[in-house]
Amino acid sequence: MAVVVLLVSGAGYLYGATTVAPRTTTILGTTTLTESATVTQTSTTISTATWTQTTYLPTPNTGQLGPWSRTSDYPLPPAGLSCVASGGFVYCVGGYNFTAWKNNQLDLALNRTYYASLSSKGVGPWTRATDYPMSIDDENCVANSNYIYCVGGWTSPTGKYVANVYYASLSPLGIGLWKQTTAYPYPTAPQCMTDSSYIYCVNRHYNGTAYTNSVDSFFAHLSPAGVGNWTASTPPEGGSACTASGGYIYCTGGANCPPHPPGMDCPSPSYFAPLSPNGIGNWTRSTDLPAAEQGYFVTAISYGYFFGPPDYYVTRLSSNGTGSWTTSTPYPEAGPASCVASGPYLYCIGGTSNPQTPIPATSAYFAEVG
């Protein structure tokens, strides 16, 4: 069968063997989105933003990020916020209010939410959206079918983890009204991922009175009616940071190394497992991360990016696990608070200014996947 290459609006585009399905939405104003792509199917032009964008989508070869570019600063200097991407926009929830901490205020967590457009030019202006039902940080949010679902987190001034789960609709006008849905099995700050209308979360085990060093995992179905019942699933054998891509979950980082000679590497084991409506499948050992660091793991296209200051790594993600790890483009600051991917770009929001004085920053950066 012949493969035809055209210049077409709204075409599905091909990254390697992965086809990204097009979305169809109402066109507002005179916005134009033109993409050069390998055509697998065609559909209506996609856009709800107010800027004009011409994007060329080459097939990535290495996953290496291009140079980081500064873009629209976040309205506050938060840490511990959670952001999701949906329909060409980024939506961020909560976070740790560093300004309040400096002013000796008790309510350190935020209930504010903001959103902005995403493009090849970066992050657009931030607009305040519907407040979250409680002050929260270290919650974990996922986006699925134009809805956002946020799980757990830490609230103040009580200073406790919560099991609360809330969800809301997403649109170019922001975040809709938040609704409470099925609570997580216990209070925690989990790492959550989504695949095919299911949410999968990994977190430290809670024995009823304290958190332990073992790990739990749970999954549930997502719908416009909220989160379904949570069911226990297979926890990973190791890894401090997890991400999901192409129907698989990958966890790595955080190795607890015994004493070893200076200069000797202490890699972190990596594991991966398939995702399905029945939960997380069996975990398989994969290529070790070269460093023993706690970090942040995020997916863009079919690549995984591990932010573990002072080291940054990229790997190809596949049904065979993580590929070889290579050093990635260093982040301009110590590390981001939350990152999202949209098309061939990775956008990172907030974070800390440097490892020596970890002051939360308002800065935001983006880079192209090469």
Cis peptide before 157 (omega within 30 of 0): yes
Q: Do the domain assignments include residue 205?
A: yes
**CA dihedral sign of residues 229, 296, 274, 235:** negative
Q: Do the domain assignments include residue 311?
A: yes
So what's the pLDDT on residue 294? 82
Rg (CA), the chain: 20
Q: Does residue 346 register a pLDDT over 60?
A: yes
For 205, half-sphere exposure in the C-beta direction (CA atoms, 13 angstrom radius) is 12
Q: Do the domain assignments include residue 312?
A: yes
* Confidence band, pLDDT 50/70/90 cuts, at residue 237: confident
Q: Do the domain assignments include residue 97?
A: no
So what's the pLDDT on residue 257? 63
**Percent of all residues in the chain with a pLDDT value above 70, rounded to a whole number:** 75
Pick from 215, 234, 230: nearest CA to 282: 234
Statement to judge: residues 138 and 285 lie in one domain? yes
Q: Do the domain assignments include residue 357?
A: no
Structure tokens at 342: 């949209």
Statement to judge: residues 186 and 304 lie in one domain? yes
Q: Based on the structure, what is the number of domains in the chain?
A: 2
Statement to judge: residues 38 and 146 lie in one domain? no
CATH of the domain at 262: 2.120.10.80
CA distance 19 to 10: 13
Pick from 97, 94, 125: nearest CA to 111: 94
Statement to judge: residues 220 and 307 lie in one domain? yes
Statement to judge: residues 29 and 138 lie in one domain? no
Cβ neighbours around 213 below 10 Å, total: 7
- Tens digits of residue pLDDT in 283-318: 999 999 988 888 889 999 999 999 987 789 999 999
So what's the pLDDT on residue 355? 55
**Mean pLDDT, range 226-237, rounded to an integer:** 95
- Tens digits of residue pLDDT in 171-186: 999 999 999 999 999 9
Of the candidate ranges 2-16, 179-193, 340-354, the one whose mean pLDDT is the lowest: 2-16
- Residue identified by tokens 């129907």 is 247
Statement to judge: residues 166 and 248 lie in one domain? yes
Its domain, for residue 41, covers 5-56
Give every CB contact of residue 173 below 8 A, 6+ residues apart in sequence.
none
Statement to judge: residues 41 and 136 lie in one domain? no
Statement to judge: residues 174 and 292 lie in one domain? yes
Give every CB contact of residue 370 below 8 A, 6+ residues apart in sequence.
60, 61, 62, 63, 64, 65, 66
Statement to judge: residues 215 and 296 lie in one domain? yes
Of the candidate ranges 189-203, 296-310, 350-364, the one whose mean pLDDT is the lowest: 350-364
Q: Does residue 250 register a pLDDT over 50?
A: yes
Name which residue leads in pLDDT, 316 or 15: 316
Structure tokens at 51: 């800027």
Question: Contact, 65 vs 370, CB < 8 A?
Answer: yes
Q: Do the domain assignments include residue 41?
A: yes
So what's the pLDDT on residue 188? 94
**Mean pLDDT, range 66-93, rounded to an integer:** 93
Statement to judge: residues 146 and 273 lie in one domain? yes
Statement to judge: residues 38 and 137 lie in one domain? no
Q: Which of 37-51, 281-295, 347-361 has the highest mean pLDDT?
A: 281-295
- Residue identified by tokens 């107010």 is 50
So what's the pLDDT on residue 42? 27
Buried b (16+ CB within 10 A) or exposed e, 278-293: ebbeebeebbbbbbbb
Statement to judge: residues 36 and 140 lie in one domain? no
Query: Which ranges constitute the DSSP H helices of the chain?
Result: 98-102
Pick from 244, 250, 235: nearest CA to 203: 235
Q: Do the domain assignments include residue 256?
A: yes
Query: DSSP label at 104?
Result: T
| Strand residues in 207-302 grouped as ranges (E) | 211-223, 226-227, 231-232, 241-245, 248-252, 268-276, 279-280, 284-289, 296-300
Q: Do the domain assignments include residue 192?
A: yes
